């Protein structure tokens, strides 16, 4: 069983020529980076589950993929995703035809679960993806090896079709930081957005709606003998989880708590960087803090108006119901809040914000 580590990023179709030119430029101007010629092939993937989505409930993804004249059966766990970095365990087996082969599942983690005859009989195709995949092998002077994959195609779930256009940077060998460093290098000339949803999650969304939610901070598990670097890493990851966990509510929902929780995450993150300033590179840390202040201020404008309209103004309106100027103030505040949220959503979807998260 392998541990899959990859960084997923959305890219616009119009930027694909730029991506190819930039990879060619890096290959010709950076002696420390070797980039192979691209290899392109069609990839058809079918995802399986029971009608009541029992595999999904167990945190299991089962896929059969046809690529380069081979059928590959893959089992993955749900893993985790943070700032576009997906980490999951996967079990791959080559099968002889376009049918699932449960005899190939010998790993004890899954063998017992898939050994039930009734379960096997219930497993059916749920959704599929049809993409053209182009891959580049990228090797670095220190031995790091990254595979860059460009997928263009569509996800098919019943009568629904959804476009796929993304890149994946998969770590084949080396340190995870290499994925982010290379993504930032690409982002200098190309618009890239972090993708925390896998293709499987996007497919399942057509069958089981996931309501928007508020994610509050969780206690960070630290201990006295922990190295300061490890402590900082855990704190930052917890802050990023809270920050990104509330983005969808701010972008698509109406609960004002979304902006509030994002600001809390940012304040915690800024505090952590200041407390641990002795072990971080000063110049890098200061640049990050400047960007954290920027997005905090943008969110702050919306939060101030949320508090004014939901907490400060209501008791005043109740006590002075016949004051036309107060009613006019409420109307003006709602207009200002609408504009503030427009600015917030523009900031969260901007390349500046994406660059901050990758950094």
Tens of pLDDT, residue by residue over 199-228, are 899 999 999 988 999 999 988 989 999 999
Q: What is the DSSP letter of 311?
A: I
Instruction: Supply the pLDDT for residue 1.
Output: 63
Q: What is the dihedral of CA 301, 304, 306, 309, to 10 degrees?
A: -130
Instruction: Supply the pLDDT for residue 97.
Output: 83
Tens of pLDDT, residue by residue over 283-292, are 788 899 999 9
Distance between CA atoms of 129 and 134, rounded to whole angstroms? 15
Dihedral pair phi/psi, residue 7, rounded to 5° = -105, 120
**pTM score, whole prediction:** 0.90
Residue 251 pairs in a beta bridge with none
Dihedral pair phi/psi, residue 351, rounded to 5° = -70, -25
Distance between CA atoms of 138 and 148, rounded to whole angstroms? 7
Taking a C-beta distance cutoff of 8 angstroms, is the pair 152, 132 a contact?
yes
Q: What is the DSSP letter of 36?
A: P
Neighbours of 63 (CB within 10 A): 21
Which residue positions in the chain have pLDDT lower than 50?
A: none
Residue 45 pairs in a beta bridge with 65, 129
Distance between CA atoms of 174 and 144, rounded to whole angstroms? 4
């Amino acid at each position: 069983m392998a541990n899959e580590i990859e960084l997923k990023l959305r890219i616009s179709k119009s930027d694909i020529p730029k991506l190819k030119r930039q990879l060619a430029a890096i290959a010709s101007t950076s002696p420390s980076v070797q980039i192979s010629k691209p290899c392109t092939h069609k990839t058809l993937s079918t995802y399986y589950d029971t009608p009541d989505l029992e595999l999904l409930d167990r945190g299991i993804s089962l896929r059969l993929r046809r690529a380069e004249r081979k059928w590959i059966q893959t089992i993955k766990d749900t893993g985790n995703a943070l700032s576009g970095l997906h980490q999951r365990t996967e079990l791959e087996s080559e099968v002889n035809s376009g049918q699932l082969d449960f005899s190939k599942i010998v790993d004890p983690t899954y063998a017992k679960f898939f050994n039930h005859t009734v379960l096997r009989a219930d497993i059916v195709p749920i959704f599929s993806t049809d993409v053209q995949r182009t891959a580049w092998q990228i090797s670095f002077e220190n031995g790091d090896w990254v595979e860059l994959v460009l997928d263009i195609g569509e996800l098919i779930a019943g009568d629904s079709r959804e476009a796929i256009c993304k890149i994946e940077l998969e770590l084949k060998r080396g340190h995870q930081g290499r994925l982010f460093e290379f993504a930032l290098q690409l982002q200098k000339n190309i618009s890239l957005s972090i993708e925390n949803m896998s293709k499987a999650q996007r497919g399942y969304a057509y069958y089981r709606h996931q309501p928007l939610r508020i994610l509050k901070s969780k206690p960070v598990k630290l201990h006295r003998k922990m190295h300061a670097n490890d402590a900082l890493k855990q704190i930052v990851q917890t802050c990023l989880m809270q920050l990104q966990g509330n983005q969808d509510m701010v972008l698509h929902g109406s609960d004002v708590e979304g902006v509030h929780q994002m600001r809390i995450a940012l304040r915690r993150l800024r505090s952590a960087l200041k407390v641990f300033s002795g072990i971080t590179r000063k110049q890098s840390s200061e640049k990050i803090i400047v960007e954290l202040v920027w997005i905090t201020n943008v969110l702050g404008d919306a939060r101030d108006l949320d508090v004014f309209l939901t907490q400060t103004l209501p008791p005043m309106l109740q006590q002075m119901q016949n004051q036309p100027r107060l009613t006019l103030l409420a109307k003006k505040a709602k207009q200002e809040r609408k504009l503030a949220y427009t600015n917030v959503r523009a900031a969260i979807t901007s390349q500046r914000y994406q660059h901050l998260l990758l950094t």
